[in-house]
Structure formats: structure tokens, C-alpha cells
Amino acid sequence: MSVIFMNYRSRDLVAPLWRSLAGGPLNTVLTLASVLMLALILPPLIHWAITDAVFSGTQEECRAASGACWAFLRAKARFILFAFYPGEHLWRPILVIVTLLGLMLASALPRLWGPALILAWPVTLALVWALMAGGTWTGGILARVSLNDWGGLPVTLLVWSTCMAFAFPAAVLLALARASDMGGLRLIAVTYIEVMRAIPMVAILYFAMLILPLALPQGVILDKLIRSTIMVALFWTAYLAEVVRGGLQTVGPGQAEAAQSLGLGYWRIMQLVVLPQALRQVIPGLVNLGIGFLLATSLLAVIGAFDLLNTARASTTDTQWLGFYDEAYAFAALIYFLLCYGGSRYSRWLETRLRRR
Amino acid sequence: MNIPLREAGPNEAGRGQSPHRRGVIPALVAWWGPRPYTQLALVLVILAGLWLLGQNIAAALEKAGISPGFAFLTRAASFQIGESVIPFSAGDTYLRAIGVGVINTLRVAAVGCVLAAFLGTALGVLGLMGNPLLTRLVRIYVELIRNTPLLLQLFFWIALARNLPGPKQAVHGGGIWLTNRGVYVPAPVVEAGWLWPLLASLAVIIAVLALRRFAGVRRGTWPVALALIAGLFWQAGLAFDIPALKGLNVRGRLVLSPEYAALLVALVVKFSAAIAEIVRAGILSVPEGQREAARTMGLSDWQIMRLVILPQALRVIVPLTTSVFLDLTKDSSLAVAIGYPDLVSVLNTTANTTGQAIEAVLIMAGTFLMLNLGVAALMNHYNRRVALRGEGRR
């Protein structure tokens, strides 16, 4: 009895699979081609990453082996993640990473969307910057750590979240300006958005490096990291504004007219009627843009700021462990991948959830 | 959102209030809209802010002894450029150096757009073939590429390109040699020169277009034209120069530098993933009913694809692909991170050697603005054609 049952079950599972893989000549060819490709890629990859790899040991042992040198990561992971941040204060960047990831998670839950969350962003960011910097910012309780020693994942997350926190409200204002009935305002908004969107981010970073220091009043000196954060925030504002504008266009004019006839003023109409509907429409788009921005923070490496990608690259130039590019980049790629893949899965989940409503 | 900020007063020219007034100035006033003086004040404040920053910059430049302006463009540049299509050596003008950079940017962006479009379309279509194994493989590729930074991938490719074996142990196959000195690819060669066969081909294409347009001949025109063009090149003696190992080095006419090859591969891989997603979404956007209806009418799979699915899918695909091409062109500026002398890289060197940073950034912004407008105009033209074709067949 049980044998018949098993047989029935397995045929039920196997037959459709067989049909989908080998039904028809074209399908069979595609399956064979896929298997051939896997056979070409997988064995060397497994040999490199696992069977021939060195998991612990010295540089010499790594050089002798043909596989990956994971021992390199054991030695350099701290540098890749935190750069030169002093060892006895390492709990601070760790806390920063945890706090910022927590803030992102909290922002991801539709249940928590509200004024409290909007307030939580600037407060958390101020605390986190103070925690990283120490010194006078924390009233002298924590030791000061120079910006030169910052690096790795906390810098990537800090730049990303600070720029987002500035750019999002600015983008809403810019989108409203572009959609307003005031010609002068529209002109300013359109010029800003189109110029920013046409130039590459690298050019913006060079502007932050070369020109912004000259444009500041005499005696004001900002660190490279701060300058690029300011410029990148201004840059992202234009991209976010276009997405928000797309949301504004989905809200029919009747909504605002109805609210106006109730005697509401412009800002109340926007706050209570138009923006909630408009933003809801484009949240998945905003999340996707946010993921793109997280990847784009890696461009800070071009101007020599120590973000996650640049620490990974710098770790390969250590004379003790020279030239283990693949391992360093694989490690950084894994972190970026986990953050961004998680984000894109979340965006898809949110899209179906919002559509269901 | 045409909502006045407050109730329009009797003296204010609201938008809908002035149909009876005509002329340029009333139109301008109507366009400028409500709260005219507040707006004017805002514009002035912004201009004043920019002027103040400009003053700071001018003062800083004066202190450094740099005179602003574009006069430096005609001065001699003291640096070398790694690779160049037009001849360049130290001592040529900065203008020429920037020209080299523009050509290098165009060279990698144009080839990158074409290859990314082909690879992306192939991946998008393969992922929809209904083969579960292949679909999974395409998904893994797309997710892996999309969720890691382009610059990281670029660093990976350049490390790979620089660590390739020397010519003696080079990896080769199909006439392509991968060495640490560059990538050698087969080059088409016409001994008698390219001019006449190209001109003749152009004439054939124009003739075909004229035939289709004015004589209404449609069936079989393109295969005949292709055969004619192939014959033309065969007559002219088209041959392929296949790279080969000669002595200690690989000899070939077409060598891609490691930097160019790495940048091209990085851009193509990254943006093919984006295009694959767009193609997938475009084809899926055509309702299933369309396919079923076409099948009931007895159309073959190929006809369904060409006549029913593609015309509708292209309307989704083309505008989105336009912005991918623009992103690719802008992201080719990451070249500066690996030492490929593109426009941004050359301008960076220019700014460092002359101190004319503002002019350099202005040229950078201006050139990319023009490139963007150019690509957008080209793609909009194609987009209109795609849309019109759909309209015409309705």
C-alpha cells in the first residue's frame, strides 16, 4: 500500500518536471546547454571556494594553494569593515551599524509609518554621527576619533542614510515646485533636476573635491567625507524628485480641488490629501532607487574616501597579504548583495501588499 | 497641481482669469503665475547665493594665481594619454586632449550600449523560454549583477585583466587572445580601402528604403540587399585579420587595452542585467489573451512574436532602455578609477595640472548634458517610430 502511494507521489512530481525540462526538441537543447554551462562553471568554482581553499593559515600557505585564501579575510575582515577605527572603541561603529540597520528595518514596516518615524530619522542620525566622532560632540565622555580613521561599512551606511534623510524631504519640495502653477518656481526646479540628472555622479564628487573647498567662505574647512555627503545628497534629490513627481501625477486634480472647496490651504491639502496618496504610489520605486543609491555610495572610492569598497581594495595592498583581490571583493560583494537583495525582495513584497489594498 | 497658494486677489493674474488679455507680456505674467514678487525674490536669492559662492571661488583662485576662463584650452598639455584614436602626444593642446577623452568615452559607451542591448535581450528572452533550469540561471545572473556595485565589478574585471597570463601562455580561442597586454580580437580588413564598399552599401540601403517607400515593394527586399552588400565586400576583398602568436608576442590589428576591455565588460555585464529585466517586463506586459487570439488565427510562433508581441512590448521596452543607455554613458565615467583615459579622467588630469577646476567641471557637465540630449533625441525618434507603427497597424 505504501509502495503504491510512494510511486504515485513520485510520478506526480517527476513527470511535470521531466516535461518542462525535456518536452520538445528546443527545450531539450536549452536544458542540455544549461547543464553544460553549469558543468563548466560550478566545478572550478567549488574547487576555488571550498576544496582547494585555505581557511586558516599564513600567506605562504595561501600562495601554495590554488584555491581561495579565506585566511586573508580572517586577518583583514576587521580592516575591511572598520578601516583604522581604534580597536578599543570598536563597539562604537558596531553599534552604529546595528542602529542604522535597525532604523532601516523600522522604516520598512508599514505599521510604523508616521510622524514618530519621521522624527526618529534626524534624531538617530545625529546620535550616530556623535557616537562615531566622540570628543566634544558627546560632551567629552567618549574619546574623539578623527574622520581619517573612519571607514568601511559604517561610513557606507552613514553616508547613505544621511543623504537619504536630507534628499527625501528636499525631493518632495522640489517635486511640488515642479508641479506648481508658479512659473519661476517651476523654472528653478526643472533646471536643477535636469542638470543634475544629466551629469555623472563622478563629476559631482569631483565638484565636492575640487570646487566646493574654494566656494566655502574663508576659514571654513570641511572634511572630504562631509563635502561629498553634501554634494551627493543634492545630487540624489533630483532623482528622488522625479520619482515623487511621478506619484503626484497619479493623483487626479479632483482630489486637490475637493480639498480646496473644503477650505483647506495649500500646505494642508498637500499634507493631508495629495502627498499621502502620491507617495504611496511610488514607495516601491523609492525603495528601488534607495537600493541603487546604496550601490552608488561605492563611488566614494573614486575620490579616495574609505567606504566599504575602498577598504576592500586597500586591504589587498597590505604587504603582508598582497593581491588577494578576489577574496576581498567577494567579501564586500556579499555585504552589498545581502543589503540590496534584501531591499529588492522587500520592495516586491511591498508592491503586492500596497496593490492589495 | 494647479492650486493657487491662496485665494487669488483682485489684482493678481490667476491662470484661468486672463483669456481676454493677449500679447507676450500678459502671457508671460500668466505663465509666471501667482505670488509674482515672492517668486522673483526667491530667484534673486538663489542667484545671489550662487554669486556669493562665485565670489569666494574667484577670491580663492586669485590667491592661487589662477586666472579664470577657457584660455588654457589652447595651451600645451604636459601629460601623456595612455590610449587614443587620434594621434596625441605631450605638447599638444588641452583642447586636443579633451577631444581624445570625448572620443574614448564615446568609443566605450557606444560599443557598450550595442553589446549590452544584444546580451540583455538574449538573456531576457531566454529567461522566458519556459525552461525552469534556464530561467533560474538567468535569475541568478540578474540578481547577482544587479545587487552588487558597478565599481566593485569593475575592480574585479581590471584585476582579472591585469593578471591574465603573458602572450606565451595566453588563453585563446575563436581568434580571440586574452593576454596581460590586452585583448586581441579578429579585425576586418579590406585591402583596397573601406571607402568604396561602404559608399556602395549605403547606396544599396538608400535604394531599398526608396523602393519600400515609393514603389511599395516590401517582400524580400532586405535579404536581397544583404546579399548584395555581402557580395560587394567579398568583391572588395574583405578578410579577417586573425591574431596569432609570433615570437614572444601576439600580433593582431585590433588590440583592446586591459583598461578598455575591463571597462567594456563591466558596463556590458552590469547593464545587460538591467536590459534583461526590461525586456522580460516588456514581453510580460502583453496580455496573454493577445497571444491566444493570435494562435487561434493560425499564426506561427515566429509570426506571433514578430507581429503581435514585439510591437506592443517595444512600447514598454524602448523608453526604459533609453534611460539605461543614458546611465551606461554616464557610468562610463568610472573609467577614471582604473586609469582608462575617458573624458572625466582627462579633465581630472587637466584640473590637476592647470588648476582650472571650475572650467574642467563645466566642460564635463556640458559635454554630458549634450551627450544625454543626443542619446535621448535619437531614442525618442526610434520610440516615435515604434509607437507610430503600432498606430498605423491598428
What pLDDT was estimated at residue A12? 60
Strand partners, A69: A54
Could you report the per-residue pLDDT of A144-184, keeping only the tens digit for each? 888 888 889 999 999 999 999 999 999 999 999 998 888 88
Percent of chain B with pLDDT strictly greater than 90: 27
Indicate yes or no: CB of A198 within 8 angstroms of CB of B132: no
Contacts of B85 (CB under 8 A, 6+ apart): B100, B103, B104, B107
- pLDDT computed for residue A55 by the predictor: 86
The pLDDT of residue B246 is above 80 = no
Flag whether pLDDT at A200 surpasses 70.
yes
A328 exposed, middle or buried (CB, 10 Å; 0-12, 13-18, 19+)?
buried
| A197 pLDDT more than 50 | yes
Q: Using 50, 70 and 90 to split pLDDT, how confident is the model at A357?
A: low
A21 and B131 within 8 Å at the Cβ level: the answer is yes
**pLDDT for position B259:** 92
**Is B334 within 8 Å of B372 (Cβ atoms)?**
no
Mean pLDDT, residues B131-158: 92
Report d(CA A153, CA A257) in Å as an integer: 47
Average pLDDT (B81-96) is 84
pLDDT at A7: 47
- Find the angle CA(B260)-CA(B261)-CA(B267) to the nearest 5 degrees: 90
The band of B267, judged by pLDDT with boundaries at 50, 70 and 90, is: very high
Q: Which residue has the cell 597579504?
A: A321
Number of Cβ within a 10 Å radius of residue B32: 19
Cα-flanking dihedrals φ and ψ of residue B296, to 5°?
A: -60, -30
CA distance A91 to B149: 27
Q: Whose grid coordinates read 566593485?
A: B152
Q: pLDDT tens digit string along A314-330?
A: 988 888 888 788 889 99
Q: Exposed, middle or buried by CB within 10 Å (0-12, 13-18, 19+), for A137?
A: middle
How far apart are the CA of B259 and the nearest CA of chain A, in angstroms?
16
Residue type, A316: T
DSSP code per residue over B197-265:
HHHHHHHHHHHHHHIIIII---TTHHHHHHHHHHHHHHHHTEEEE--EEETTEEE-SEEE-HHHHHHHH
Helix and strand numbers, DSSP H then E, in chain B: 13, 8
The C-alpha angle with vertex B346 and arms to B344 and B351, in degrees rounded to 5, equals 90
Structure-block grid coordinates of residue A15: 513527470
pLDDT tier at A127, thresholds 50, 70, 90: very high
Confidence (pLDDT) at A5: 43
> Which pTM was predicted?
0.86
Q: Which residue has the cell 572603541?
A: A89
Which is higher by pLDDT, A166 or A51? Answer: A166
User: Is the pLDDT assigned to residue B168 strictly greater than 50?
Assistant: yes
Residue type, A296: A
- CA distance from start to end of chain A: 48
Measure the CA–CA gap between B384 and B188, rounded to whole angstroms: 34
pLDDT at A11: 55
pLDDT beyond 80 at B216: no
Query: What per-residue confidence (pLDDT) applies to B101?
Result: 92
DSSP-derived 3-state class of residue A304: coil
Check if the interface score ipTM surpasses 0.85.
yes
Instruction: Name the maximum alpha-carbon separation found in chain A.
Output: 90
Mean pLDDT of B167-187: 81
What residue type is A58 in one-letter code? T
Tell whether B372 lies on the interface with A, counting CB pairs under 8 A.
Answer: yes
Other C-beta atoms closer than 10 Å to the C-beta of A91 total 9
Of A341, A206, A298, the residue nearest B156 (C-alpha):
A298
> Can you tell me the mean pLDDT for B147-162?
92
Residue B1 near residue A244 (C-beta atoms within 8 A): no
In this prediction, residue B9 carries a pLDDT of: 44
**How many contacts (CB atoms, under 8 Å) link A and B?**
187
The Cα–Cα gap between B184 and B246 comes to: 13
pLDDT at B10: 44
Residue A312 with chain B: CB contacts under 8 Å = 152
Output the average pLDDT for chain B. 83
- Kindly identify which residue of chain B lies nearest to residue A342, measuring between CA atoms: B147
pLDDT for B218 equals 72
Say if strands B182-185 and B176-179 run parallel, antiparallel, or are unpaired: antiparallel
| Cross-strand bridge partners of residue B171 | B178
Instruction: Please name the fold of domain A75-356.
Output: MetI-like fold (1.10.3720)
**Subunit contact A181:B348, Cβ cutoff 8 A:** no
- Stretch A201-220: mean pLDDT, rounded? 85
* Predicted local confidence at residue B89, as pLDDT: 82
Residues of A in contact with B51 (CB under 8 A): none
Which residues in chain A are closer than 8 Å to B35, comparing Cβ atoms?
182
Contact B81, B67 (CB under 8 A): no
Q: Which residue ranges make up each domain of chain B?
A: 94-186+242-393
Task: Collect all residues of chain A within an 8 Å Cβ-Cβ radius of residue B369.
Answer: 195, 198-199
Q: What is the CA radius of gyration of chain B?
A: 28
Give me the percent of chain A exceeding a pLDDT of 70.
95
The pLDDT of residue A249: 86
Provide the pLDDT for residue A9.
Answer: 52
DSSP code for A261? H
Q: How far apart are the first and last CA of chain B?
A: 34
Q: Would you call B56 and A216 a contact, using CB atoms and an 8 Å cutoff?
A: yes
**B34 within 8 A of A266, measured Cβ to Cβ:** no
Q: Are A20 and B132 an interchain contact pair (Cβ–Cβ within 8 Å)?
A: yes
Higher pLDDT, B221 or B147: B147
Q: Is the pLDDT of residue B11 over 70?
A: no
What is the residue-averaged pLDDT of chain A? 87
Inter-chain residue contact B372 with A210, CB threshold 8 Å: no
Phi and psi based region of residue A139 (left: phi greater than 0; alpha: psi -120 to 50; beta: remaining): left
Phi, psi of B327 (to 5 degrees): -60, -40
Residue B141 has pLDDT above 90, yes or no: yes
Q: Is the CB of residue B361 less than 8 Å away from at least one CB of chain A? A: yes
For residue A33, the chain B residues in CB contact (below 8 A) are: 134
Give the pLDDT of residue A298: 94
Residue A296's pLDDT band (boundaries 50, 70, 90)? very high
Domain ranges across chain A: 2-51, 75-356
Check residue B5 and give its pLDDT.
Answer: 47
Q: Percent of chain A scored above 90 by pLDDT? A: 37
Instruction: Look up cell 519621521; give the residue.
Output: A118
Dump pLDDT digits (tens) for A12-35: 666 667 777 777 788 888 889 899
> Residue range B181-195: average pLDDT?
80
Mean pLDDT, to the nearest integer, of B130-155?
92
Alpha carbon dihedral B22, B28, B33, B36, in 10-degree steps, equals -120
Closest Cα in chain A, distance from residue B316 (Å): 16
Residue B162's closest CA among B369, B320, B339, B282? Answer: B339
User: Burial, B353: exposed, middle or buried (Cβ in 10 Å; 0-12, 13-18, 19+)?
Assistant: middle
- β-bridge partners, B239: B189
Query: Which letter, b or e, does each residue of B92-108 get, where b requires 16 or more Cβ atoms within 10 Å of its Cβ?
Result: bebebbbbbbbbbbbbb
pLDDT at position B44 is 93
Q: Which of B291, B239, B278 is nearest to B379 (CA)?
A: B278
Q: Could you tell me the fold of the domain covering B94-186+242-393? A: MetI-like fold (1.10.3720)
